[in-house]
Amino acid sequence: MSRAFLIVMDSVGIGGARDAERFFNDGRPDTGANTLGHIAEACAAGRAEEGRTGPLRLPVLDRLGFGAAAELASGTRPAGLDAAPQGLWGAANEVSKGKDTPSGHWELAGVPVPWEWHYFPSVTNSFPPDLVAAVARAAGTEGILGNCHAPGTAIIERLGAEHLRTGWPICYTSADSVFQIAAHEESFGLARLLKLCEDVAPILHGMRVGRVIARPFVGAPGAFTRTPNRRDFAIAPPAPTLLDWATRAGRTTHAIGKIGDIFSHRGVSHLHKGKSDADLMDHLIRLATEAEEGSLTFANFVEFDSLYGHRRDISGYARALEWFDARAGEFLARLGHGDLAIFTADHGNDPSWTGTDHTRERVPVLGWGYGARAVGQVGYVDVAASVAAHLGLGAEGPGRSFIE
């Protein structure tokens, strides 16, 4: 019996989305966005020299077919990624009407989103009065702070002192279908913040808002920092996913990072969390040795997106990719005969692009365990069908396996 490892490099898109013109950043369509391609271009031109230097170096992933997949997706080979593929490689297209975490992950797990997400388009006074009142009641306060679009670190810096003075939660959103609540772990209380998010999540989910996110922080004015105790309260997938298929067949599933939250902890046997992607990689490498026969390990590495994509930090994104590539080599060296590992992404987040939102892009599909194999243009749902086929599970979604 074989094992499968599905690894999401959060936001590592490769350009070329056929419907990119329908998605926007600050009024600019995502046409031409290419996370990997533009990072590689900046590195080759000497414009990504903070904490690293020279062309982008990803020898492990490139040998699997990273450069070839990017060329298939966008028509352009990323600078420096010119290896002949030795693994399974292709590019995946999304059909869900979103460029966010739940849409991408659910579809990779076999379930496209059947509805339109609800967004809060107004940059200020973003939330309707009845929602503001409901959150304040649940918090036991006279009101809320924020009520706007904002980057998380910036709004904590701006409103943290007032939050400490009033005790009111800081509520904000973005271009994503999300409602975020920031509060001080000590003065407001972490347990109280999590309970608040849990209590208001059904209201937001009823509106088709994808996630309510707890954003705890600590410190004093001028020195506030977010803690690793973030928690996402996501709307449940509308149908059984790859994780459900596996657990119903009696298989063990391991969820690394945000996977448990993204899937409302459905179909998860064991959860592996950490304070950083480095911690999560340690879990993945350990499970390469310890995961049970017939098991599914599903991992998300979020820092490409959260620390570098949204902050439009090209050097930081390049550093993270090079770090990940080296550790991926350690992981692959521990896999055995019959194992499958697939590296992919959920959307793009081009750090060279306008605005701070995700970008609509195709994503890579890079596989270890089936030799050199070009699978061409596939769907996100085909990833789930292929993993299911490898594990001998009955796929229930619309995807078609590319390994059979």
347 assigned binding-site residue: yes
10 assigned binding-site residue: yes
Query: Phi/psi at 372 (nearest 5 deg)?
Result: -75, 120
- Pick the closest to residue 289 from 319, 241, 244, 254 (CA basis): 254
Scanning 26-151, the segments in alpha helix (DSSP H) are: 35-44, 59-64, 66-74, 101-108, 129-139
Scanning 173-241, the segments in alpha helix (DSSP H) are: 190-206
305 assigned binding-site residue: yes
CA distance 308 to 128: 31
State how far the alpha carbon of 193 is from the alpha carbons of 171, 196, 200, 291, in Å: 12, 5, 11, 34
270 assigned binding-site residue: no
| Amino acid present at 228 | P
Phi-psi sector, 36: left (phi>0), alpha (psi -120 to 50), beta: alpha
* Coil, strand or helix at 372: coil
DSSP string across 67-83: HHHHHHHHS-PPTT--P
CA distance 179 to 160: 18
Query: Phi/psi at 376 (nearest 5 deg)?
Result: 75, -155
Stated as kind and residue range, the H or E segment containing 189 is none
Binding site for Mn(2+), residues?
10, 305, 310, 346-347, 358
Binding site, residues?
10, 305, 310, 346-347, 358
